[in-house]
Structure 1
Amino acid sequence: MPTRVTVWNEHRHERDHEAVAELYPDGIHGAIADALTEATDDVERPAVEVRTATLDEPEHGLTEDVLASTDVLTWWGHAAHDEVADDVVERVRERVLDGMGLVALHSAHYSKIFKALMGTSCSLKWREAAETERLWVVEPGHPIAAGVDECVEVPEAEMYGERFDVPQPDALVFTSWFEGGEVFRSGCCYRRGSGRVFYFRPGHETYPVYHQPEVRRILRNAVAWAAPGERGSVSFGNAEPREEIDESDDRSVH
């Protein structure tokens, strides 16, 4: 059964800035959707079904029906985080806790949904100077790093620098070094409830990062990792004892 992916994007920069539109004529969401479905010389076409959704659609394209049929949601936001409705954020958060995967991209570190799942400010240092980024694989055995060389060079990037105010990741897959000297935790894995969350830093709108083959490979790997699988069932609430016990001192209030 294919993994059902919804690629979400603000889709504002591509409409408002000619330089961004030239880089991403089908929108950033279009480039990401294409990356998730392409085959390469050494990898067959992934078994995915991809739809896209954008901020200005009704309910931001994230209706209850859409989310119910989504295994992994990718999220790209930057200039309009505050315009995302709180009830939609809560709807997405509940789906993640129930098992839907979330891949937060670049400036989505500051999205309402990522901050809600992290419980911190998710703030960082930044600088836009078209500098070189070296993305180092620090956990080469992780599935998200499969088929990726130990270092990926991004010729032009926006710098994100530490401190990155997020919880300690369950696994750190990538660390970035920038030409100006900063470093950054660029590939962070988390579990929230039954869902998996991956934050991936590269992807500024004025640079062709999502056209770079290594980045596209990482996106495909991330979606495969974040997809729900056989992770066991979880039960909550009142539980009957497994053995006979003396319940005569039971003082619970019902």
Structure 2
Amino acid sequence: MSFSLFLDSLIIQAAGGPNVFTYFAQSNFAGKIVIFILVVCSVVAWSVMLGKYMDLSRLRSQNQRYEHMLSKEPHLLALDPDRPGKGGGPYYNIVREALEAFFRYGGHVADADVHRATLRMGHVENALQRGVAEQTIRYEARMVLLGSIVTGAPFLGLLGTVWGVMDAFGGMAGAGSASLQSLAPGVSGALLTTVAGLVVAIPSVFGYNYLLQQTKISVVELENFASTVADRIELEAQAAANA
């Protein structure tokens, strides 16, 4: 504790007047722990937001390149099921799983048996649903962590404030004197934790809402692409059976 008091005095002397450092020095031990936790949460939140934005941008770029390549292919079923063209990303994985399911049930594209063709397309649609679910998990990765920081940061700040005010009033009652000069430092230090909580939560909530919206858009685009793939496979298989 003596080292903590020495550090607090250095901060006050270096600051030269009431500011954030002064208020931090006037915080109780619990308030300083809360502020430290909030600093860690802020670093994590910004890392998640920047990393998630870069991931979504990269996946969208991969999807656009692969969709452009696929639009030039006259026959989707002519692609290699193990490696359906050059590319990567969610769209690529969706097509690969759909083709693997299609050729797993039969080795040939054409199938004159209507029942077998229907059963085959059922396998393809199930594979597409599983693929969409897996890629959705990939899109939504780390969003729970960011949402937890958005929700929890203000409450952590409030906890530090309430605790600090409680200590300030408790110390004043133990001293047997009540004055604004004796109460103000503890209260100002306690209020710092609420400010820190809001500083962490406000940018995080804007980033979370933006990333959540982009994730929802990407998932809808993925579902539409999977539906398009199912239609192409069914039409090409039907055309081959009628040929």
Per the shorter chain, which TM-score range? Answer: under 0.3
TM-score computed with the length of structure 2 as normaliser: 0.21
Instruction: Looking at secondary structure, tell me which structure has more strand per residue.
Output: 1
- Rg comparison, structure with higher value: 2
Instruction: Looking at secondary structure, tell me which structure has more helix per residue.
Output: 2
TM-score computed with the length of structure 1 as normaliser: 0.21
